[in-house]
Amino acid sequence: SGLDDIGDRRDEVAMEAINALNKLSTRVDNEQLSSILSSVLLKLRPCFEKESGALRAVSFSLFGELGSRIGGSCDAFREQLLVNIVSILLHLNDEEEEVKQMCARCLTLVGGLLNTDAAASLIERELKPDEKCRDYLQFLREFCMILAFSFPDRINYYALNCNNYFKSTSSRIRANAAHMTGFLLGELTAELRSTVSKELIFAGLMLLLKDHDVDVRVSTARAISCLHNYA
C-alpha cells in the first residue's frame, strides 16, 4: 500500500494512493469497498495530521466518500467516525482553505451516521458541501454540547484527544483544541465532570497559557473561563 511507504518523506506516494482510492470509491460496488474498509480507515487516520494541506484535504474527502457509500450499513465505519470526530472538528478550522472545505463536506456526508437528530440538524443548518464553516466557534460550541450529552461514555476520550492536539505544530489547531476542550467540558453535570481526567487536561491547558502564539493563549484563557464549575 502506498500509505505504508516508509521512504515517502514528502508524502507524494500517500497522496497518489489516496487520490486513487478516492476515484476507486466511486467505481466499485459496496461489497468490494466493505472488504477493504477496515484496512483503509486505519491507514487513513494518520493522514489527517500530515504537514501537507493537500494530503489532509484529500484524506478527509475520502473519509466522507466512504461514509456516504457504506457507512450506514457498517458498524466499523461508525466506530471510526466516533474515533475521528475530534480531528474532523479541529480541521474544520484548518489553516488551509481546502481542508476546511473538505471537513465541512465530510460532515455533511457522514454526520447522519452519528444517529443524533440534533447533530444532523446543526450540520444541515450551518454547513454546505465544499464551503467552509461560516461561524466556526459557534458551530463548535453547539456540536460539542451535542457530543457530550449524546456520547457521555466518550467525553473523557474526546477531552484527552483534544489534549494531544495541544502539542500540534499548527498554532491554529492548538487554539481550536483549547476551545473544544472548554466547550466539551463546560456544561457537564457534576456526575459527568467526575468522569474527566481533570489533572491531565488542566495541566495541558496551563502549558498552553504559556504558548508562544498570542492567539493560542487567548483561546486557552477563553476555554478556561468555560470551566468555572471545576473550581
Q: What residue spans define the domains of the chain?
A: 1-134, 137-231
Per-residue pLDDT, 9: 58
Q: Which has the closest alpha carbon to 90: 66, 60, 110?
A: 60
Query: Residue 5's pLDDT band (boundaries 50, 70, 90)?
Result: very low
CA distance 121 to 184: 19
Which residues have CB under 8 Å from 90's CB, separation 6+? 162, 165, 173, 176, 177, 180
Give this prediction's pTM: 0.92
- Which pLDDT score, from 0 to 100, does residue 7 have? 47
Q: Which is it for the CA torsion 207, 208, 211, 214, positive or negative?
A: negative
Distance, CA of 74 to CA of 228 (rounded, Å): 40
Q: What pLDDT sits at residue 182?
A: 98
pLDDT at residue 194 greater than cutoff 70: yes
Q: What is the pLDDT of residues 137-153, one digit of tens each?
A: 999 999 999 999 999 99
Q: Which string of b and e fits 79-99 if b means at least 16 CB within 10 Å?
A: ebbbebbbbbbbbbbbebebb
pLDDT digits over 35-59, tens only? Answer: 888 888 888 999 999 999 999 999 9
Say if residues 171 and 215 touch (Cβ distance below 8 Å). yes
Q: Could you tell me the pLDDT band of residue 10, with boundaries at 50, 70 and 90?
A: low
State the chain's mean pLDDT as an integer: 91
CATH superfamily of 1-134: Leucine-rich Repeat Variant (1.25.10.10)
pLDDT value for 2: 41
How far is 100 from 93, CA to CA, in rounded Å? 6
